[in-house]
Amino acid sequence: MKKLFTLIALSVVFNLTSQAQPSTVTVGNTTLDVRVVIQGNNQSNGVDIPWEIQWGPDDYIWMTERFGRVSRLNPETGARTTILDLTSTVYDNSESGLLGLALHPDFENTPQVFLAYTYYSGGIKERIVRYDYNENSGMLENPLTLVDAINGNTTHIGCRLMFLPDGTLLATTGDYQNQSSPQSENSVSGKILRMNTDGSIPSDNPYGPTSYLYNIGHRNAQGMVYAPNGVLYSSEHGPTTNDELNIIVPGGNYGWPDVEGFCNLSGEMTACNSMTNYQDPIAIWYEGSTIAPSDLIWYDHPAIPEWEGKLLMTVLKAEHLKVIEVDNVDGTTVVSQQILFNDAHAANPTSSFNAGLFDRLRDICAAPDGRVFLATSGPSWGTSGTFQNSIVELKNAAYSPTAVAEEDNHLNLQVYPNPSNGNFSMIFPKELVGANYDVLDQLGRTVVSGQVRSGKMTLDLSGLSRGLYIVRSAKGRFIADQRLTITE
Ligand SMILES: [Ca+2]
Ligand SMILES: [Ca+2]
Ligand SMILES: [Ca+2]
């Protein structure tokens, strides 16, 4: 009996500090196996806060941990090799520490690794630095500082790194709790910076050839992805409301601190009308709370069909993975959103529940075979507690590349809003432009038909009775269909 009590007490303590991870999760019709690749408590005792995970061309996960360690992680065995120890250089406190990592886009010929971290020198500063990866020693060597002495703080310091297709490097910087910096073109804080791989300034930078600025008006952006549709998406932390999803354009002004979320209040409208090239977000979370969005990827693989061609965003505070579908004409409209791995939050998304299956999700990467890896970092914010951090693999074990290839002619048709009052938009894949479309009722009868004149079309079917319909189009070997619910 005494033994039983001890067991119960132990399991209660365990549940308070960390959730047991599930062995499978369900995403639509797909079951994903969950495998813990590596797990441990903070710092030397295992895994510190994993800040960045990137899939490398060597089929290893390249990882930063916030206290200052850079590792190559074998995703199959969990074996980890430290390739750089910056723990005596890095200032690791609250949100600061070793942050972003990017591999040179042509890593096989130019094995360079780019890092961002905070350090202390008469105040907290932030640095973006390049290293050479020495394949023989397996270590990072020859540091070259690209941008130095960016004003830092323990919070609001970015610093996500990402390469553009033109080979220039972007870095997000936060406002470092100084609200006069994001709108000042003389400050590199509260910005996205663009640089060459040697730290020089690209001659075509939007604020001139002597300015690192790519755009301005940011509070603290920590997610960036350049999607195959040619759009650069970025997630951004709002204050106590209004986290944002932005489309980044060179020279854009993203409003902070004068505009939070959408430019919708009268004071904000005065501000954004006076800004050059103000850019509204394409989504916010929410007017009444924040979720703390972090890393962003574009999932581009048939292994998990529910995610194919969509943005995946890790969420810290509200502990979930957000699946974001954008339109497939210009990618500037959010068509649907889904909250995964946190049922309580999904049931009440404008409140911040922290009961996620995987605790806080900071980072994500995908392997070329479609597996997805998540970096989890405990149930609480800051560095005061000792929590289980982990890298977790999600894999569709039922996925077979040949089976899916035979179904490749079935294309994605987007219909939104859905449910709808009858006024809705349809986005057809380009293969179907010129074909006919039909709207079928539940008995399979065509109630409306027409021609797909362009990729994006709107339709007014508000005269139809409420119920379930199917929009369908086919041409040659291509077919697409989508269910539509008309509610009034
Ligand atoms: Ca990542
Ligand atoms: Ca904004
Ligand atoms: Ca607003």
CA-wise closest residue to 81 among 92, 97, 69: 69
At residue 465, the 3 state secondary structure works out as coil
In the chain, the domains with their CATH numbers are 21-402 (2.120.10.30), 409-486 (2.60.40.3080)
Cβ contact 250:221 at 8 Å:
no
Report how far residue 62's alpha carbon sits from residue 153's, in angstroms, rounded to the nearest whole number: 26
Q: What is the pLDDT of residue 7?
A: 37
Q: What is the pLDDT of residue 409?
A: 80
- 326 alpha carbon – ligand 1 mean position (Å): 20
Per-chain residues with Cβ under 5 A from ion ligand 1: 53, 295, 363, 365
* Whole-number CA gyration radius for the chain: 24
Number of neighbours of residue 354 by Cβ within 10 angstroms: 17
CA-wise closest residue to 46 among 393, 389, 391, 392: 389
Residue labelled with tokens 């890393």: 295
DSSP strand E in 212-304: where?
Answer: 213-216, 221-226, 232-236, 243-247, 283-285, 293-299
Q: What is the pLDDT of residue 2?
A: 39
Residues 6+ apart with CB under 8 A from 6: none
Point out the ligand nearest to the CA of residue 254. Answer: 2
Point out the ligand nearest to the CA of residue 238. Answer: 2
Helices (H), 315-388: 343-347
- 262 alpha carbon – ligand 3 mean position (Å): 4
Point out the ligand nearest to the CA of residue 257. Answer: 2
**What tokens appear for 477 in the block?**
């070997």
The pTM for the full model equals 0.83
- 5 alpha carbon – ligand 3 mean position (Å): 52
Please report, in tens digits, the pLDDT of each residue of the chain (488 residues total): 334 333 333 333 333 445 578 999 999 999 999 999 999 987 766 899 999 999 999 999 999 999 999 999 999 999 999 999 999 999 999 999 999 999 999 999 999 999 999 999 999 999 999 999 999 999 999 999 999 999 999 999 999 999 999 999 999 999 999 999 999 999 999 999 999 999 999 999 999 999 999 999 999 999 999 999 999 999 999 999 999 999 999 999 999 999 999 999 999 999 999 999 999 999 999 988 999 999 999 999 999 999 999 999 999 999 999 999 999 889 999 999 999 999 999 999 988 777 899 999 999 999 999 999 999 988 877 556 678 899 999 999 999 876 554 455 888 899 999 889 999 999 998 889 888 999 998 888 889 999 998 888 899 998 899 989 989 998 888 888 888 999 87
Q: What is the pLDDT of residue 176?
A: 97
Q: What is the pLDDT of residue 412?
A: 86
- 382 alpha carbon – ligand 3 mean position (Å): 28
Residues 6+ apart with CB under 8 A from 17: 378, 379, 385, 386, 387, 388
Q: What is the pLDDT of residue 444?
A: 82
- 270 alpha carbon – ligand 3 mean position (Å): 12
